[in-house]
Amino acid sequence: MPTDIEVKKLDDFRWLLPKKGKMRTEGLVYADERMMAVIRKDASLEQVANVACLPGIVGRSLAMPDIHWGYGFPIGGVAAFDMEDGIVSPGGVGYDINCGVRLLRSGLDAGEIRDQIPALVEALFKNIPSGVGSRRKDLRLSAHEMDSVLVKGAGWAVSQGYGSKEDLEHIEEQGCIAGGNPEYVSQRARTRGKDQLGTLGSGNHFVEVGYVETVYDEAAAEALSLHEGQVTVLVHTGSRGLGHQVCDDYIKALLKASAKYKIDLPDKQLCCAPLASKESRHYLSAMACAANFAFCNRQLITHWVRETLQDVLQTGPRGLGLQLVYDICHNIAKVETHNVEGKARKLCVHRKGATRAFPPHSPFLPDEYKEVGQPVLIPGDMGRYSYVLVGTETALRETFGSTCHGAGRVMSRRQAQKVARGRAIVRELEDKGIYVRGAGKGTIMEEIPEAYKDVADVVNIVHQAGIGKKVVRLRPMGVIKG
């Protein structure tokens, strides 16, 4: 429902939610006039204000321009909490723990493969299971192997021959969130995830073959080894049923914890536990396991993407040159040290539908990116474009090193199906030069471009607000959807 919550315009791209009622701090939304009109159509601004009521929040309750209504936190919400007085909330991470994106660059030019896109998409669709409940039949994990995945993340996949050490160096946290303990992951979660490694899942998850259409920053693009016309692959997926079940399990546990610790919640969906508590430690450990499952999932999909392209294009690894640019998390809570009012403080930073965006010279970046900043991957809808940005000092200073994560939905899946009814969506996309294959007609209808904000509008706000800097735009040629 529309919200009439008060907002004050600070500048062309920043809007303040004044501290009112039980809010412990202000809210800050990144948007322009036109985007704010869209944001006001749902209750996400109220969710920004609700997050500002949580104990131990440090700085403002933040929202990116792709904000929309979510469970507890808005999707596109960022908030940091003090390790002694603050909390952790599953609603600030989401159900798809470490839903994230990775970008692969190739040694190929778009013109070389355009005629082979239909065959390539069909082969990718065959080799990477997609859709609700999709499973692999050729990868069976023992209980011990599953434990290793939950603890080691992408490192497990590389140790089994699915990639290289160089891949790990180009993944956020090197593909492994520390502190994962499988003891805190339920048997139900394990059962849901045991056959889902190397699968895409449903909804807005995808594998996309595209190319670099536009270069905005030559120096940054060169540092990322990206150039105009170059073939790229984007992979967008997360922790599948395992992560969903971890979230579900701990929402129940932390609802009890909220009552136990007498935390006054403005919304039960913000159930939480003090960071110093046993319940919080258990959730963060299980969340790390789910995040590591997701890192491993994207690493395995990358392996099958490489094999598929080599087979269809009849070229070897050297000719294909499919290298990992970067892999980032969207839905995660991480313990990080940030400068707050001139002092270094250890905080638990929740990024839900938001991306880490660390600036140049961050110690957490691969050497070749140190001068330009962390790659930030912003996927759009399947009919338009996606963006690569880099992180900035402004983001580190204002948003705990965070920025947007995508376009942001403006239609529910049911609304999108209604709008798409009677249309030949696949043919419409083919007319634009984009070959699409989905797990079902319903999936394609739910993911029509009109269901999302134009990601160019989102990225332009981020760029002009200074919490991300545009590097290149990618144009899709072929997509497989979950």
Residue whose token pair is 């050497």: 367
CA count, 13 A, side-chain hemisphere, 42: 19
Say how far apart CA 377 and CA 380 lie, in whole Å. 10
Task: Give the C-alpha separation, 481 to 436, whole Å.
Answer: 8
Would you list the DSSP string of 86-106? -EE-GGGT-SSTT-EEEEEEE
Contact 354, 337 (CB under 8 A): no
Q: Any bridge partners for residue 356, and if so which?
A: 402
CB 373 within 8 A of CB 391: yes
Instruction: Provide the H-helix boundaries in 325-421.
Output: 393-399, 413-420
Residue recorded with tokens 């929040």 = 57
Percentage helix, strand, coil for the chain under 3-state DSSP, each rounded to 5 = 40, 25, 35
Instruction: Determine the Cα–Cα distance for residues 242 and 247; give it in Å rounded to an integer.
Output: 9
What would the two tokens of residue 476 be? 């899709």
Q: Residue 79 — φ and ψ, nearest 5°?
A: -155, 145
Q: Is 341 exposed, middle or buried (0-12, 13-18, 19+ CB in 10 A)?
A: exposed
Q: Which of 68, 205, 405, 463 is catalytic?
A: 405
Indicate if 405 belongs to the active site. Answer: yes
What is the rounded CA–CA span in Å between residue 316 and residue 45? 51
Measure the CA–CA gap between 88 and 81, rounded to whole angstroms: 8
Residues tagged active-site: 405
